[in-house]
Structures are given as structure tokens and as C-alpha cells.
Amino acid sequence: MRRVGRALLLLLATLGGSAVAEETALAGDASCAFAIIDVQPADAGVTVAARAFALAPLDVEAEMVIERKGKSGTVSTRQGRHLSLQPGTVEDIARTGVNFNDGDIIAVTVLLKRDGVVLAESTMSAGR
């Protein structure tokens, strides 16, 4: 099941043209959910979006955490919401613009939890 999930995630990354981090199912195969990170260029930096989907009906608490470090200091933001995921649909968790300049570092984590247990986690980082 995990091989199929990873292959599906890679296919989504290829079709969507977005930066999608590796998904990790941490709570077993009973509730297969996927956390997606999409980073796109924007006028003053990048737009970061978090999305989720599941292979079966599933209620989760979803959260996106962004940390940007640059010459002016460190900025972090956290956004989350409850999702009722249905098979065949991708739900938005959050979307935000981030100022990003040469020399900055950005790290994004998206978590999907049920009853405090992490079902899926995606992470990505960029910059130097």
C-alpha cells in the first residue's frame, strides 16, 4: 500500500508541476492519508499551499507550519483546520504568500492527525 501511495504522490508532483514532499504514513495502513505541499512563484516571493487527500473517508486535523529565516530575522506561521476527507477529492488546508529573497531559507511541514496521532506528514525546505 505504501508503494502505491508513494507512486501516486510522485505522479501528482509530476502532473501538478509543484514541489511535493515525501509523504510518510506514521500511524500504519488503517487510514491512508496524504499531505501535499505546493510551492509556486509569486511577485514578492512564493505562495505555499497545503492540501490533503485520503483513500477512504477520514476526518483529520490538518496543519501547515512555515518557517522562513532571512537577513531580517525569523518568521513563522501556523495554520490549521478540521477536514472531512472523501475518496477522489483533494481538500485545501491553507494557502499563504511568503516573502522570499536570495539567501533566505524556508521550511514547510504539513501534518494530518486523528486523535492526536500523526497519519501523514510532508516536509520540504529550500534556500541556503
Report pLDDT digits (tens) over 2-32. Answer: 443 443 443 344 334 334 444 444 444 456 8
Name which residue leads in pLDDT, 20 or 125.
125
Give the full edge-to-edge strand order of the sheet including 33-42.
33-42, 45-54, 91-99
- pLDDT at 27 (0 to 100): 40
The CATH architecture assigned to 2-127 reads: Sandwich (2.60)
Q: What is this structure's pTM?
A: 0.75
Give dist(CA 19, CA 78) in Å, integer. Answer: 19
Whose CA is closest to 112, among 89, 84, 70, 76? Answer: 84
How confident is the model over 20-45, as a mean pLDDT? 71
Backbone dihedral angles phi then psi of residue 88, each to the nearest 5 degrees = 85, 0
Q: Where are the domains of the chain?
A: 2-127
Residues 6+ apart with CB under 8 A from 57: 84, 85, 86, 87
What does the block give as the cell for 3?
A: 508503494
H/E run at residue 14: helix 2-16
